[in-house]
Amino acid sequence: MPDSTDTGTGTAETPAPEGAQAPSGEGSQGGQDQVSLLTSRLNGQTAKVGELSNILKTKDQELADALARVKALEEKTVSADEAANARVAELQKAIDAERDARRVDALKARFPESFASLSDQVAGAMDEAGLAALEARLTKGAAAPEPPTPDQHGGARGGTSAGASNRPATADDIEARLMSLPLPDGF
């Protein structure tokens, strides 16, 4: 015969191990704890289902409202004022585009090197001062003075010796200068 007894309630009772006390009576504290735990879980799940069904109802209502607005907008006829305003906005955009194109063409005629090296869109976005500076650098015109270059090493500094000439040093000059230096000790 098996160790557990079926009472017909779907739960099986097993005999307590040796040394443990048997539960007192049929309605033991362990069974009541389990029932209260399951009841608490059921109440929590019921509350959650209620919340989710409320959210679902709200979202369904929002969807129905949005569909009604879309349908109303599709069926709405455009008034004469709205059509005129749309036409005015369209013409204003065309005028602005033509004005920008003419401005870029005028700048392209004044600064051809800048537009040749940059795209029309980039050069057209620059201001006239920037284009003039770029044009001067690209053409190396008289408007952009070149910085002075010194004739020899250190010629840009003011403290040169009085006997130094302004001509470049030759190999013979350098060799003579090196030969005039004193030799270090030991040579």
pLDDT tens string 37-82: 999 999 999 999 999 999 999 999 999 999 988 887 777 766 777 7
pLDDT for residue 178 is more than 80: yes
Alpha-carbon gap, residue 3 to 121, rounded angstroms: 91
CA angle 100, 96, 106 (to 5 degrees): 20
- Residue reference for tokens 């989710």: 52
**Residue 104 near residue 81, CB atoms below 8 Å:** no
φ, ψ of residue 6 in degrees (nearest 5): -90, 125
52 vs 7, which has greater pLDDT?
52
- To the question of pTM greater than 0.85 for the whole model, the response is no
